[in-house]
């Protein structure tokens, strides 16, 4: 039963995220890459592609990152509820 409930929750998140991507006229892949770009704790975003067209589409995430305003990022966080924690300070 737990797996079904978790699957339902995850599918609802995908539905909500798809709506945001649609509002921005972007793909989910572009949104995901842009979200990584906007994370101040991420130094490098590695994209994967098996076709040249995918490289072109993935690079559009640079444009999408500009659309991820603090308000949009708050909406995303409210859906995903997985905001990365700041790294601890090393001594």
Of 16, 80, 70, the closest CA to residue 38 belongs to 70
Q: Give me the mean pLDDT over the 50-67 stretch.
A: 93
pLDDT in tens, 17-58: 999 999 999 999 999 999 999 988 888 998 888 999 999 999
Pair of tokens at residue 80: 């995903």
Q: What is the pLDDT of residue 91?
A: 61
Torsion of CA 30, 33, 35, 41, to 10 degrees: -170
Task: Name the pLDDT band for 61 (thresholds 50, 70, 90).
Answer: very high
How many Å apart are CA 58 and CA 8, to the nearest integer? 28
Question: Average pLDDT in the 76-88 region?
Answer: 82
């Amino acid at each position: 039963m737990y797996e079904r409930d978790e699957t339902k929750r995850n599918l609802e998140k995908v539905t909500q995220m798809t709506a945001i991507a649609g509002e921005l006229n972007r793909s989910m892949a572009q949104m995901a890459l842009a979200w990584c770009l906007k994370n101040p704790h991420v130094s490098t975003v590695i994209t994967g592609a098996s076709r040249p067209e995918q490289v072109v589409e993935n690079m559009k995430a640079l444009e999408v990152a500009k659309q991820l305003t603090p308000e949009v990022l708050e909406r995303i966080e409210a859906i995903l509820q997985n905001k990365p924690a700041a790294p601890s300070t090393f001594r």
